[in-house]
Structure 1
């Protein structure tokens, strides 16, 4: 995928409708993946999407999905196998039942073929049900070994593809197995395969008490930043709000870190507009990301480096704020 021009993307779930534990009747009429692709195609500057697999809302073939993507002038950056649904309630890689662990392996193997079909960049692994809830519930050594072994088997069987682990502190499990950038990097280094990396979700880093810029730098330093998602939250939960609405200066620092390291990739949205119009929410976020682009063009990188070399918080923030807040 060419990076000559910055590509903006979104998880296709951004254009779905949602339920929660209160509005169990949903925040809108259900949409299929084809409906969601049609909406995504209405967002100016949106070029790529991340697709759930299996395709939601009906029994659709890859050819049907591709035809809808072509009509919307969209390509695919990643495939996210749904290894977090009811059948995986006790985990996917970490399920106590080896039969369910095999089922997860088979589903992700199918997703790998879908990645090849669409010419996407990676299989995204979000094992949201892997982990534990209570003290004494699990053998921590065995659980962590299964977390790594499950990914290692897939990566070794599919050396032509990248596997990007999206870490998150909690939800739906109280403690997720891949819960932080550091823990995920430890696991990846233990796995020791070149095609396993991190999908860094800005909001998950915030939620986990991390500095997203620092998390990005760590992943880059280890050569493991395979992809990224942006959104926003109030740091107490994974709210998946519109990017730049709550933590604009930290989001700017995150992209500054990517730029400083010459990291190239899709600037991708992972937002859940429960009550907002999904096309308007995506457009608003991309407008802010384009503001960040303009600000990076204005920012004096040499002066910023000098300020950082001196740990000059006021000087560094003055440079960042001037660049960002005059770029709208």
Structure 2
């Protein structure tokens, strides 16, 4: 392939291609997986190898949407389910590609019920990919002015202690800690002491990570909801927060990880949150991958702007899923693809099956591309005008391997089982 080679002036990585061998593996003595491969700048031949290599999605899903889903506008349309009932569904879905579940600490997963999640792993091989809710519980009255960023000391101290306990559970499970600071932020720009807000949050999170070294935290940015303005509004904010939290770390175990090029603080970008902020999905994920910080992925559908809808994957902005899968494959992503949807009016099994199938379809479109021709278009755009557009059309028209799809008969049976009002 004809491409102009250049000297990447000034780039300094503390690791080399040796990290390819350890990609996706646990770092010894920690709960951190090695994702440094994301930061490599491989030659075009290696990029082609990645694109041509079979990509097997590892699906996870949040137990929070398995049963009753609350809304400020109407009563729940579904019955509430116990954690046991939700995990029973997860076990059933393991037959169709579910590899892990996600849960919030302390209201969905905690010290008293963690044995249920361990039993799920033993019986069905479904692990806990992430423990969310790290940083504070936004549902409580005392969190209305923030959790670990609260200007009220007793509130801040309470949620710092909860964060430490949550991280201890994360380490026990070998999982990822995820912080979606939904209620931390501000209402009015005038009168907000921004430095204090960011400093309080970052200082508390760094302190908690130093108390429980060897775990990875992932920030999940969002522009608004439930806070009028969330503390970290977009992907760039999340990257800056990750750097700022890491700059405060003192524990020798964490310092050693940073010196080896591991991200102690990564990101868990959600497609819906990106599109609420009018971000380009593939671009935003690539920014995180470039830093070696893409610890987890949350997939759903969302129109640009609007309230957070959490629609099934692949029903809005289908091209964004294809572009995202292409970028994940191109840059060596090895972690989970988390489904984060809000199936108010359909069985959760149907919503997840539809989302799995949509990901497989987009992955199939990427398989169908002439990968060399796609990269050739990038390197020689002046000679390949219109070729990429044609490649996409041909890839979408070509038959996709549907053997990994959840069969329509299975989906129909789920629909019929839960069809009555």
Whether TM exceeds 0.5 here: the answer is yes
Give 1:220 deviation, angstroms.
Answer: 1.1
Structure 1 alignment gaps of length 5 or more: none
Q: Which residue of 2 aligns with 1:316?
A: 388
Match of 1:8 among 34, 51, 59: 59
Give 1:284 deviation, angstroms.
Answer: 0.6
Match of 1:180 among 206, 227, 234: 234
Say if 1:37 and 1:72, in contact at 8 Å, map to a contact too: no
Match of 2:69 among 11, 18, 33: 18
Match of 1:111 among 150, 166, 191: 166
Q: Which has the higher strand share?
A: 1
Say if 2:219 and 2:242, in contact at 8 Å, map to a contact too: no
Alignment of 1:43-54 (within 5 A): 43=93, 44-54=96-106
Say if 2:167 and 2:209, in contact at 8 Å, map to a contact too: no
Q: Which residue of 1 aligns with 2:180?
A: 126
Alignment of 1:31-180 (within 5 A): 31-43=81-93, 44-56=96-108, 60-81=112-133, 83-86=137-140, 87-120=142-175, 122-180=176-234
Q: 1:5 to 1:171 in 2, by over 3 A?
A: same
Say if 1:240 and 1:270, in contact at 8 Å, map to a contact too: yes
Alignment of 1:158-307 (within 5 A): 158-192=212-246, 194-235=263-304, 236-307=306-377
Q: Which residue of 1 aligns with 2:46?
A: none
Indicate the structure (1 or 2) with the bigger Cα radius of gyration: 2
Matched residue SS, 1:136: coil
The Cα RMSD (Å) is 2.3
Query: Structure 1, residues 140-171: CA drift from partner, whole Å, max 9, x if none?
Result: 12112223222222223333100000001100
TM-score (norm 2): 0.72
Matched residue SS, 1:155: helix
Give 1:313 deviation, angstroms.
Answer: 7.9
Query: Structure 1, residues 2-50: CA drift from partner, whole Å, max 9, x if none?
Result: 7995311111113121121121x31212112222111222221111111
**C-alpha distance in structure 2 between counterparts of 1:152 and 1:304, whole Å:** 42
Say if 1:249 and 1:321, in contact at 8 Å, map to a contact too: no
Say if 1:169 and 1:178, in contact at 8 Å, map to a contact too: yes
Say if 1:147 and 1:177, in contact at 8 Å, map to a contact too: no
Matched residue SS, 1:226: coil
Structure 2 alignment gaps of length 5 or more: 1-23, 26-32, 34-54, 248-262, 403-421
Give 1:219 deviation, angstroms.
Answer: 0.7
Give 1:66 deviation, angstroms.
Answer: 2.3
Give 1:325 deviation, angstroms.
Answer: 4.7
Q: 1:191 to 1:52 in 2, by over 3 A?
A: closer
Say if 1:92 and 1:129, in contact at 8 Å, map to a contact too: yes
Query: Structure 1, residues 225-262: CA drift from partner, whole Å, max 9, x if none?
Result: 11111000112222100011111111110111111111
Matched residue SS, 1:225: coil
**C-alpha distance in structure 2 between counterparts of 1:306 and 1:170, whole Å:** 40
**C-alpha distance in structure 2 between counterparts of 1:124 and 1:58, whole Å:** 15
Query: Structure 1, residues 261-301: CA drift from partner, whole Å, max 9, x if none?
Result: 11111111011111111100000100111122222222222
Count of residues in correspondence between the two structures = 326
Give 1:133 deviation, angstroms.
Answer: 1.1
Matched residue SS, 1:41: helix
